[in-house]
């Protein structure tokens, strides 16, 4: 009883907020308790007791919560949890909301006829995503068994690119001729309870062209005998099946649309993208962006071998390795020169500071590009501001670091002292460091500012520029710039 009260308390309490950030969220706490509850159920003494407890948990909790909790269970336990869900509807909701790894684990244990039953009773758009998690052999078996009409609809959706509006849309929607009355619309909706209402219905003209929409509120507050052309509103936003998902998300997020119609070349309605599909696409975009910024684009399941994960990460690490080797060779080329004696000691400081400057600038630009906030004009303004900011940082931190190095040199912390070099007096050391930092920050500012825009122009995800590429190139540039500054300083001092 106490445990049930704890779950009720979590569902009703407000999340804790500190300094504008949410910690220990209600759903996170709920997941932890649900996982603990499931783990206790799976560690019962006999299988009969285990199944009884799992079935009890599955019937008492929302299948969406169970779907999220399942990702932290061992693979065999996920299948047991799925089998003990109370009905087919709960299983469909569970499979739609869980991750691909969990779906793969469950598909391995299900019979083909059970998978077919599951797919035939969910929206075709969701069924397509389920099929994407299957092996080619299983996919062929399932498509041979599935209802031909449903199979045709699924294949039509699969023709479209994975990241396009055609893949996000559903072909289940309500569209009526503009002379249809509100009462007739209501009757038709009641006849098809399985079709989700997306917050609006669509209006077609005599040529079946999309000409407007009617919000659900207008259907409720107006008289049944009123034709929908009298309550319809114009449509300002449509997309085609080939529209990129990034554009779909941008349109729906900016204009807060409950759904987005998809039309063909003849302006006829071929599908509707519901808000839930846009949210899922937004999550995928965020995951891809974070992965690229981190310097990896891994796409694997827990069943894939380690060697596959290795080769996903290796290309990015090769870029970093080549940059490091280039810096190493650069430093060895000038070994033995009197002016070079301080360079190896100070390159980490120069590279680290300038690297962070470049990453900060490129990350801000990537965020602006991804959110669609950067127009042609605002892009130029933001570039100008970021360049000024980078130069200001280089100037201020260059002077600060120069003063610190000057003070350390006076106190005896002089890396050139081991060579008994007369070149690097405290003033010479501080000046060299200040100029080196300013030059490296200037270069990293240019790299961080223009690389995301260049990547975006050539059709490459600009998030890539905020990852190891900017870091690697900056390391090499900053080393060479400081070497050049040190050499020029030696010429002036001598």
- Give me the residue spans of the domains in the chain: 2-164, 175-294, 306-493
Q: Which DSSP string do the residues of 367-402 spell out, in sequence order?
A: HHHHHT---HHHHHHHHHHHHHHHHHHHHHHHHHHH
Find the mean pLDDT for residues 312-330: 80
CATH number of 175-294: 3.10.580.10
366 contact partners, CB below 8 Å, separation of at least 6: 289, 293, 452, 462, 463, 465, 466
> Which range among 141-150, 412-421, 452-461 shows the weakest confidence by mean pLDDT?
412-421
Q: What is the pLDDT of residue 24?
A: 47
CA-nearest of 146, 79, 149 to 112 is: 146
> Which range among 36-45, 328-337, 362-371, 391-400 shows the weakest confidence by mean pLDDT?
362-371
Assign 20 a pLDDT band (cuts: 50, 70, 90): very low
Options 1.10.357.20, 1.25.10.10, 1.20.950.20, 1.10.357.10; CATH for 306-493 is 1.10.357.20
> Which range among 160-174, 262-276, 404-418 shows the weakest confidence by mean pLDDT?
404-418
Q: For residues 165, 102, 108 and 158, what is the CA-based torsion angle, rounded to 10 degrees?
A: 0
Output the pTM of the full model.
0.60
Q: How many residues does the chain have?
A: 494
Burial (CB < 10 A; 0-12, 13-18, 19+), residue 184, is middle
Q: What is the pLDDT of residue 390?
A: 87
Compare 7 and 465 and report the one with higher pLDDT: 465
456 contact partners, CB below 8 Å, separation of at least 6: 369, 462
Fold match between domain 2-164 and domain 306-493: no
Q: Decide yes or no: CATH 3.20.20.80 for domain 2-164.
A: no
Query: Distance between CA 341 and CA 323 in Å, rounded?
Result: 22
């Amino acid at each position: 009883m106490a445990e049930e009260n704890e779950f009720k308390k979590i569902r009703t309490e407000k999340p804790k907020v500190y300094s504008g950030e949410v910690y220990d969220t209600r759903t996170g706490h709920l997941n932890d308790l649900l996982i603990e509850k499931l783990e206790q159920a799976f560690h019962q003494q006999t299988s009969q007791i285990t199944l009884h407890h799992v079935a009890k948990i599955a019937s008492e909790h929302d299948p969406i919560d169970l779907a999220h909790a399942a990702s932290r269970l061992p693979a065999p336990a996920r299948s047991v949890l799925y089998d003990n869900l109370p009905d087919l509807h709960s299983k469909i909701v569970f499979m739609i909301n869980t991750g691909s790894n969990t779906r793969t684990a469950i598909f391995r244990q299900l019979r083909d006829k059970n998978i077919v039953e599951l797919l035939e009773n969910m929206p075709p758009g969701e069924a397509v995503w389920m099929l994407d998690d299957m092996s080619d052999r299983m996919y062929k078996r399932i498509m041979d068994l599935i209802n031909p009409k449903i199979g045709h609809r699924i294949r039509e959706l699969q023709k479209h690119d994975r990241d396009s509006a055609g893949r996000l849309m559903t072909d289940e929607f309500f569209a009526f001729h503009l002379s249809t009355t509100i009462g007739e619309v209501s009757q038709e909706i009641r006849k098809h309870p399985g079709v989700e209402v997306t917050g609006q219905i669509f209006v077609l003209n005599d040529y079946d062209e999309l000409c407007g929409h009617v919000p659900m509120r207008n259907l409720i507050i107006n008289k049944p005998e009123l034709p929908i052309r009298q309550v319809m509103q114009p449509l300002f936003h449509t997309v085609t099946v080939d529209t990129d998902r990034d554009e779909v998300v941008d349109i729906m997020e900016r204009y807060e649309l409950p759904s987005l119609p998809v039309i063909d070349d003849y302006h006829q309605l071929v599908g509707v993208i519901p808000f839930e599909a846009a949210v899922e696409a937004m999550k995928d975009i965020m995951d891809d962006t974070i992965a690229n910024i981190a310097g990896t684009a891994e796409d694997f399941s827990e069943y894939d071998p380690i060697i596959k994960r290795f080769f996903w990460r290796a290309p990015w690490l090769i870029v970093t390795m080549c940059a490091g080797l280039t810096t190493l060779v650069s430093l060895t080329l000038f070994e033995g020169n009197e002016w070079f004696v301080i360079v190896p000691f100070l390159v980490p400081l120069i590279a680290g500071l300038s690297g962070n400057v470049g990453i900060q600038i490129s990350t801000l630009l990537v965020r602006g590009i991804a959110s669609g906030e950067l127009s042609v004009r605002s892009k130029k303004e933001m570039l100008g501001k970021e360049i000024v900011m980078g130069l200001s940082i280089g100037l201020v931190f260059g002077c600060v670091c120069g003063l610190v190095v000057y003070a350390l040199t006076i106190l005896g912390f002089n890396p050139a002292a081991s060579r008994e070099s007369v070149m690097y007096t405290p003033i010479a050391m501080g000046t060299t460091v200040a100029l080196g930092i300013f030059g490296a920050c200037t270069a990293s500012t240019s790299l961080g500012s223009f690389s995301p825009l260049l990547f975006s122009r050539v059709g490459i995800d600009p998030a890539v520029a905020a990852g190891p590429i900017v870091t690697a190139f900056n390391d090499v540039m900053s080393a060479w710039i400081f070497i050049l500054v040190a050499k020029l300083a030696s010429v002036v001092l001598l």
